[in-house]
Structure 1
Amino acid sequence: MEHVKDSKTGSSGSPIQLTANYFRILSRPQWVLYQYHVDYKPPMESRRLRSALLFQHEEALGSARSFDGALLFLPHRLHSKETVLHSETRNGEKVQITVTLTNELPPTSPVCIQFYNIIFRRILRILNMQQIGRNYYNPDYAFNIPQHKLTIWPGYTTAILHYEHSIMLSIDVSHRVLRSETVLDFMGSLRQQCGNQRFPEICAKELIGLIVLTKYNNKTYRIDDIAWDHSPNNTFKRGDSDISFKNYYKSVGVSHSTQVLLVSHVKRLGPAGAPPPGPAMLIPELCYLTGLTDKMRADFTIMKDLSGHTKLTPEQREERLNKFVMNIQKDADAQAELDKWGLNFDKMLLNLNGRVLPAEKIFQGSRSWAKEMRGMSLISSPPLDNWIIFHTRRNGNEAQSLLQTLQKVSGPLGIHIKRPIMVQYEDQQESLLRSLQQNVGPQMQMVVVVLPNNRKDKYDSVKKYLCVDCPVSSQCVISRTLSRPHTLMTVATKIAMQMVCKMGGELWSVEIPLKHLMIVGIDCYHDTTAGKRSIGALVASLNQSMSRWFSKCVLQHKGQEIMDGLKMALSAALRDYLKFNNCLPSRIIVYRDGVGDGQLHSVVNYEVTQIMDSINLSFIIIVVVVKKRISSRFFARIEGNTTNPPPGTVIDSDVTRPEWYDFYIVSQAVRVGSVSPTHYNVVYDTSGLKPDHMQRLTYKLCHMYYNWQVVNFLYLEPNVLLDDLLFYL
């Protein structure tokens, strides 16, 4: 990418002063990390024994050291390149240790960066924080929500990396939601609800795939199976003798001897040369459920009470981050550990410059709008002549209210709606499916189903029938959503627009200056709970206004992220583009979602190769990796207050990576909490587009997802979001 070799930053937009959740790492001048290889004669198998023998020589090595069993890291150089030490085991065996200098690592080397992260994890442990998964949490400052039997552990997600001009600690506030009930409590209440006969089947369905926490060691495990034929009285090998699970956990106490055991296939390493150990067997009584169920997420009261603790305003988030670094500097043990290595952290969050891109004009019908659009005609809307509404007897009033409001809002939007067929069904899944089979045919344009609740199995059965068995456009709506008169106009407007989209209509557009452009979105979905095969999805734009899309799904191996069937899917998209436009695109921009940093080379070497095989060499190709779940946060100082940056804020310096062509865009506003930016990394580019043009085009596309009607709720390109929707159909 020669065109960004000299500069990968843009210049358009108005400047804005920002603060980011990064702290610079400060080290003494000419700081170097010395790497040594350690040999033992005779060889020692036990890593713990190797460490104990080596650390007998603190006088020669110093107190600052890091040893993984083979490699030793020191902040200073030993007198000789090869140092020979002599130790003795408890059994009186003489051991010769040879410490050989193998490398001098500058602060920016990958090994050094990894070492920084190891040292920082030590600091977190010194502060009495507990590791759960990849992050560290502080149980001493837990928030209890007794009315919902929930506990929140506050913590931090951290990473030290080499950024544009310096090595920095990226840190963000994290929360772990724990439930006060154990797995045994959950199983007991489940047995009461469903009875003994169906209990094993329903219990496996509810538990397998969940993450549990064992408080005796603060570790998390994924439940992979239930050992119905095991109990705490079963034994396992411990050393040379057998011990029961009940006796093994005697210190924490096991009171129910008849409970079954849970199976977790954790990745564990056994002794060298020995067969790998089996799965971890967990006792339900000692396992606490983590996270939220779908039922909890649907409960407004629970989510509101949780958000009071977890959704921090920019000011609260900034205050908590500053307080955390201050605690490190005040803690004598933590500071002593950093001083040993000649390291420290900046006391202030990183200040940097951003830019706010100009607001985009959105065209609807013959006019443009900024916010209010209910009274304006859509670009195109097919007439809705043959459609049907299904409802239960209990929800008949809500269905009538929906119909009347749809007729009221459709006129100003330019949607011609005839009166539908109204069908009443019994509030049972079988009755609903039977009603669909009897009343829906291939000539039907739209099926609207008013569901009495948000039960997933009922929704899934509707979508399966109307997507697979009898493909017809459909719209499901929960009756509770229609029972609030003050929001019914807004709800009906959104439903009307979704129905128009599903029938092939176009709502609005933005000006796209590049002609003959195809935008492609690619993502992969992994259903880990059901253990099913992964699905790769591709969507591609078919017209200049980016309002019509091609889509295709490809089945892949379980857990596979890199997409195999890309060549076939893109070739089909190009055929549709040719049919729609009577010509092929001259530019293809691919937005690739869901790829980790370690897979970037695979995307370039494997997926880009498939793209190139699908087209001729005259095409201009750009591949952009999109990351939504990132820990970067940016804060703006406006009128003396710490607030979220406005939509359209671009950050392309300081917190970008020197080896990448990347940038961040804040493309939405939020009413509660801190805004999440999206990270874009251009990994392949033959276009020669300036960074300004790439950033402006990406921001324009953020306006083209029809499920959100105002710029305040923009998040990602429509192609990335459409990929996500494809997976659930």
Structure 2
Amino acid sequence: MSAPATAQSRPATATGQGPPPVEVTGEAIVPRPYFGRKGRAFKVKSNFFPMQNVPGKTIYHWEVKISTPQNHEVRDRASCRQCIMAWAEQKDSPLYKQQFVYDGQHILYTPVALKKEGYDAAVEFPDDGTTGRDKRDLRVDLKFVAGIDMNKLIKAINNETMVVPMECVQVLNVVLGHHPSLSHFTVGRAFYPLNDPASERILANSQVMLNIGYRASVRPAKGRMLLNIDVANTLTYKPGPLMEIVLKAAGIPPNNKTATLSANQRQQVAKHIIGLKTFSKLQGNKRSHRIQHLSKDSVSVTSFATEDGKKHTVASWFKQAHNYTIQYPNMPCFNSNKDSSKATWIPLEVCEVDEKQLYRKTLDLNQSREMITITCQPPNVRAAKINESFSRIQSPAQMLEAWSLKIDPKMMDIDARCLDIPSVKYADSSKAPVVQPVDGAWNLRDKKMLTGMTLSAWTVVAFADQRTFPGDAVKNFVSQMVSTCKLSGLNITDGQPPLFWEPNATKDSASIGAAIRKAIEARGGKVQMVMCLLANANNAVVYNTVKLVTDTMIGVPSQCVQEKHVRTANAQYCANVCMKLNLKLGGANSMINGNLTWFSERPTMVIGADVTHPSQADRSMPSVAAVVGSIDKSCAFYRSSIRVQDSGEESLWQLGPQVEELLRAFIKRNGKGPERLLFYRDGVSEGEFDLTSKTEVNSVLASCEKIRAGWRPKITYVACQKRHNARFFPEDGENGGGGGSRPGTAGGRGGGGDRGGRGGGRGGPPPRGGGRGGGRGGISYPYGNIPPGTVVDSTVTHPSLFDFFMCSHAGLKGTSRPTHYHVLRDDNRIGADELQALTYELCYTYGKATRSVSVVTPVYYAHVVAKRARCWFAAVRAGEVGGLSERLEKERSPRVPKLHPALDGSMWFM
């Protein structure tokens, strides 16, 4: 954790909404109360490698600036590294025969002091061929910044101070990243091998390359520093002819040399190639070009004037100057000059895409599936790759010795605990009201919803014709839904709702809303639910629009069903839909059997908050802040609140009003407000912990004060992180034990008692097989992963602060990723065992699933709410309901759409 930051208010921004003024109060750093003790102890492997010593001396920090002779700063990491390494070879360089490390940008460290505090030099080194010259001349400025006392870090890991000096951690990261960066393509702290076919895959039917590498970073722990290594993946453009990308983006067959671009095609091409670095090879000269923008006209029409005043088309100039005949005369060209008034026009076809340029666009569905298939690795495979990567990125012993570093090459075995699995309660009218999950999962057989609702008025709209949705198939699906829901405790009194086929509604997207309204009016204008059947083709567009219309304009819950599910009418799928319907109608599906840990003592609300951001390719869209809060002691009922804010802004700027909405809902249901708040916050990076927690806690307190003067409930604020690189694996020999390895094959039972021998768990169900395997002490390892309920709160956690890793779910595919929980404020003085048990129990309360989830349920709900809001924006942005109503036109401001008031009291987002 970084040193405490000073909280400051920010000015209002483009959205007109700045965060509230902050008056920092309370404890920002929460020491660990004790290490947790509950649960069955066992051992796991981790992807951490212990550093056996840390340099207890001063390290010298230097600022680097590299520029061209024209004083333009060079930012390309590869060029900067090449320049610094060339300078270090010069005998008059202060780095000559000296140990140093460099981050490729502005930071350089030396283990000893240099003679002067500043140096500058001209450096000449061989060029890589992109400038058309044999050599490159750059200028280096090196200035001393400060000495960094590494003893501060030693004090922090030895618990002499609770604040870890991040400048010391940064030194170690740069030291350990210096050597691999000289032979790898780097993205942040990830390293990708160069010229290694085994580490590169071209995704099918695309111009996108998947790069497989490793990510390495240094982490503080109690009594030592740790090197964390994990597998990393990133996407880059496939190097090769630029025209291939252009034709692919435009949807034009390869080698169609007479092709032209429509306005829409030109826009799509521009989205894919603007900013790309390319190079041309004409008459043996290799020149680098960055694509700034596309021409409006073709290469045969776009013209420019030379210094003698003569006018040339780009095509004629390349024939005259380079003896090159244009092959695609109807295609545009691009300008490589940032100054559009001094355009340098280059034909698309003469350029090649440079290698290792990040691809930031959204993959299509097939590409996403292929990427997941390639990167989703079983635990044993991932662990083997991590071990292999240690040797690939390990720095030479001589270099580590100069920095007083030594790293154990063996992955750490660490202590873990497996918490008891809670039982789940359904309605008393069920044949078996209480179910005990196995490996974090259970089924709905013979179960009735805890609070089943009645659906007496609903309608079904199929957005396709009867060839896509045959009448008999739709009626069969509806019949299966009705019978399944009745068995599950959702009473549907209208077993034959009116059916509507709207094949033309999707052609004119504005009529999607009209089609839904027509179906509702046919039922007298009042329905409890609209079920929308979506064809397989282009259903994302229809889905977004349906949700915008029903959530924000009509105020009726909707349930979308894909074509494939209508045709199969599978009972299990219908049971899953039934859970969603019951929640949307105001019911509750299940609860933890008995009382939730810590909740029954006093009125308590658990809050989940998340901010989702638009993709890097679409920063014009706002970020969405979603907050949910429980309103009952079983945490089965939640209310939600949505706000938007500037794109990329992580702080919850309008948290006060959002929490006020939730608190008033709690008071309305319970007659009084909560005395305690347990706030789970997703999406905050460690560098923002202190400022964000203080800002948001004070926003919550301000909302309480607004409701009733002097009301100050006790707040426990917990940050949840899924984007981290810690992974845990079963120990050797525990990877599935004697579990079944063939479909339908059952393994033997796991060993009993605290020190039971090795044994097999149950084999996986067909067709997967080999699902569960047993290990020592009765611990099972579902799908080769660590078991649900695994908690790690020592050895690899913070040296002194209150944090823990929890794997609350069974990883069905790939390697399970635990959630990292950090307690940033704790007015309630909740113990480690209590908080870990409660967090785990909450993972079994996700209303529309029959398995535990990977992050605490209120945070999961907040993410679902934010994702739904993004659907609204996608529909509005695409004009998918343009002209539907005057309200929609007014709601093109980023502050809206807003949830319809009729849905405000339900779990509409399920």
Q: Can you list the C-alpha shifts for 1:643-698, whole angstroms capped at 9, x where unaligned? A: 31100101111221235321111011122210111111111110011011111111
Cα deviation 1:475-503 (Å, max 9, x = unaligned)? 00111133346xx1111001111111111
Match of 1:447 in 2: 530
Post-superposition Cα deviations, 1:709-728, rounded to whole Å, max 9, x if no partner, equal 123xx122222122222222
Are the equivalent residues in 1 in contact too, given 2:461–2:499 (CA < 8 A)?
A: yes
Give the match for residue 65 of structure 1: 100
Partner of 2:39: 13
1-side partners of 2:86 and 2:180: how far apart? 24
- For the 8 Å contact 1:10–1:652, the answer to whether it is kept is yes
Write the distance in 2 (CA, Å) between the matches of 1:254 and 1:623.
64
Once the two structures are TM-superposed, the CA of residue 36 in structure 1 deviates from its matched residue by 6.7
Distance of 1:313 and 1:558 partners within structure 2 = 36
Give the structure 2 partner of residue 507 of structure 1.
589
1:496 pairs with 565, 571, 578, which one? 578
User: How much has 1:224 moved relative to structure 2?
Assistant: 10
Paired residue secondary structure (1:399): helix
Where 2:409 maps in the other structure, the secondary structure is coil
Q: Equivalent residue for 1:423?
A: 500
Paired amino acid for 2:461: F
TM alignment of 1:553-568, pairs within 5 A: 553-568=642-657
Equivalent position of 1:437 in the other structure: 517
Is contact 1:593–1:627 with CA below 8 Å preserved after alignment?
yes
2:762 aligned residue: none
The one-letter code of the counterpart of 1:633 is R
Tell me how far 1:145 sits from its aligned partner.
5.8
- Alignment counterpart, residue 553 of structure 2, candidates 461, 464, 469: 469
Tell me the alpha carbon deviations over residues 311-359 of structure 1, each in whole angstroms, 9 at most, x when there is no partner.
1111111111111112345xxx844543443434311012210111101
- Secondary structure of residue in 2 paired with 1:440: helix
Question: 1:103, CA displacement in angstroms?
Answer: 2.4
How many angstroms apart in 2 are the aligned matches of 1:185 and 1:197? 10
Amino acid in the other structure paired with 1:19: K
Paired residue type of 1:717:
V
Cα distance, 1:706 vs structure 2: 1.8
Q: Distance in 2 between matches of 1:28 and 1:573?
A: 48
Q: Mark the CA change 1:539 to 1:85 in structure 2 (over 3 Å): closer, same or farther.
A: closer
List runs of 5+ in structure 2 lacking aligned partners. Answer: 1-26, 74-79, 125-138, 154-164, 281-288, 306-313, 705-709, 737-783, 870-910
521-530 or 538-547, larger mean C-alpha shift: 521-530
Aligned residue number for residue 262 of structure 2: 199
- Contact 2:57 2:149 (8 Å CA) reproduced: no
Report what 2:199 is aligned to. 142
Equivalent residue number for residue 454 of structure 2: 383
> TM-score scaled to structure 2, two decimals?
0.66
How many Å separate the matches in 2 of 1:46 and 1:211?
Answer: 22
Question: Take 1:343 and 1:227, find their aligned partners in 2: how far apart are those partners?
Answer: 55
CA contact (8 A) 1:212 1:287 kept: no
In structure 2, do the counterparts of structure 1 residues 578 and 159 end up closer, same or farther at CA, with 3 Å as the change threshold? same
TM-score normalised to the size of structure 1?
A: 0.82
Q: Distance in 2 between matches of 1:534 and 1:617?
A: 31
> Compared with structure 1, are the counterparts of its residues 599 and 224 closer, same or farther at alpha carbon in structure 2 (3 Å cutoff)?
farther
d(CA) in 2 for partners of 1:580 and 1:602?
33
CA distance in 1 between partners of 2:400 and 2:108 (Å): 18
User: Given the alignment, which residue of 370, 374, 392 partners 1:309?
Assistant: 374
CA contact (8 A) 1:182 1:286 kept: no
Tell me which residue corresponds to 1:166.
224
Would the aligned equivalents of 2:804 and 2:820 in 1 still touch at CA under 8 Å? yes
Amino acid in structure 2 at the alignment position of 1:368: V
Amino acid across the alignment from 1:159:
S
Structure-2 separation of matches of 1:263 and 1:709: 56
1:723 aligns with 2:862: yes
Q: Please, which moves more after superposition, 107-116 or 519-528?
A: 107-116
2:172 corresponds, among 111, 116, 126, to 116
Measured after TM superposition, the shift of residue 32 of structure 1 is 4.5
Q: Closer, same or farther in 2 for the Cα pair 1:135/1:555, shift >3 Å? A: same
1:166 deviates by 1.7
Quote the residue 2:476 is aligned against. 401
Return closer, same or farther for 1:603/1:225 CA change in 2, 3 Å cut-off. farther
Name the residue aligned to 1:634: 728
**Shift in Å at residue 535 of structure 1?**
2.2
Task: Give how far 1:402 is off.
Answer: 1.8
Identity of aligned residues (%): 20
Q: What's the RMSD between the two structures over aligned residues? A: 4.6
Using the alignment, how far apart are the partners of 2:60 and 2:304 within structure 1? 47
Q: Quick one: distance in 2 between partners of 1:98 and 1:187?
A: 44
The match for 1:106 is 150
In structure 2, do the counterparts of structure 1 residues 569 and 327 end up closer, same or farther at CA, with 3 Å as the change threshold? Answer: closer
Q: 1:519 aligns with which of 587, 606, 628?
A: 606
Greater share of helix residues, 1 or 2?
A: 1
CA contact (8 A) 1:151 1:179 kept: yes
Distance 1:723 1:160, change over 3 A: same
Could you say what secondary structure the match of 2:810 adopts?
A: coil
Q: What's the CA shift for 1:473?
A: 0.5
Deviations 1:60-110 (A, max 9, x none): 9742024699976322356x8x789999999xxxx9x99979525216253
Return 716-725 or 347-356, whichever deviates more. Answer: 716-725
Map 1:256-655; keep pairs closer than 5 Å. Answer: 259-260=331-332, 286-287=352-353, 296-297=364-365, 299=366, 305-328=370-393, 334-366=396-428, 367-369=433-435, 370=437, 371-391=442-462, 392-394=465-467, 395-396=469-470, 397-417=472-492, 418-419=494-495, 420-426=497-503, 428-429=505-506, 430=508, 432-441=512-521, 443-453=526-536, 454-484=538-568, 488-510=570-592, 511-513=595-597, 514-515=599-600, 516-528=603-615, 529=618, 531-615=620-704, 616-637=710-731, 639-641=733-735, 643-655=784-796
Alpha carbons of structure 1 residues 445 and 341: separation in structure 2 relative to 1, 3 Å = same
Secondary structure of the 1:24 match is: strand
**Residue 639 of structure 1: how far off its partner (Å):** 4.5
CA positional deviation for 1:411? 2.4
Q: Distance in 1 between matches of 2:726 and 2:377?
A: 14
Q: 1:427 to 1:292 in 2, by over 3 A?
A: farther
Matches within 5 A, 1:643-722: 643-658=784-799, 660-711=801-852, 714-722=853-861
Aligned residue identity for 1:106: M
SS of alignment partner, residue 171 of structure 1 = strand
Does the 8 A contact of 2:229 with 2:390 survive in 1? no
Does structure 2 conserve the Cα–Cα contact (< 8 Å) formed by 1:378 and 1:508?
yes
- Measured against aligned partners, the alpha-carbon deviations of 1:486-532 in whole angstroms (never above 9, x if no partner) come to xx111100111111111111000113142311011112222242612
Alignment partners' CA distance in 1, 2:584 and 2:344: 47
One-letter amino acid of the structure 1 residue matched with residue 808 of structure 2: S
2: distance between equivalents of 1:386 and 1:480? 25
**1:76 matched residue in structure 2:** 112
The AA in structure 1 aligned to 2:588 is: E
* Contact residue 627 and residue 679 of structure 1 kept, 8 A: yes
Change over 3 Å in CA distance of 1:186–1:51 after alignment to 2? closer
What residue identity is the alignment partner of 2:731?
R
CA gap 1:425/1:46 in 2 versus in 1, 3 angstroms: closer
Amino acid corresponding to residue 450 of structure 1 in structure 2:
L
Structure-to-structure mapping, 1:224-243, within 5 angstroms: 228=296
Residues 625 and 213 (structure 1), Cα distance of their counterparts in 2 relative to 1, 3 Å cut: farther
Aligned residues: 688
Q: Name the counterpart of 2:877.
A: none
In the other structure, the counterpart of 2:779 is none
When residues 260 and 675 of structure 1 are mapped into structure 2, their CA distance, relative to the original with a 3 A threshold, is farther
Flag the structure with higher strand content: 1
C-alpha deviation, 1:699, in angstroms: 0.9
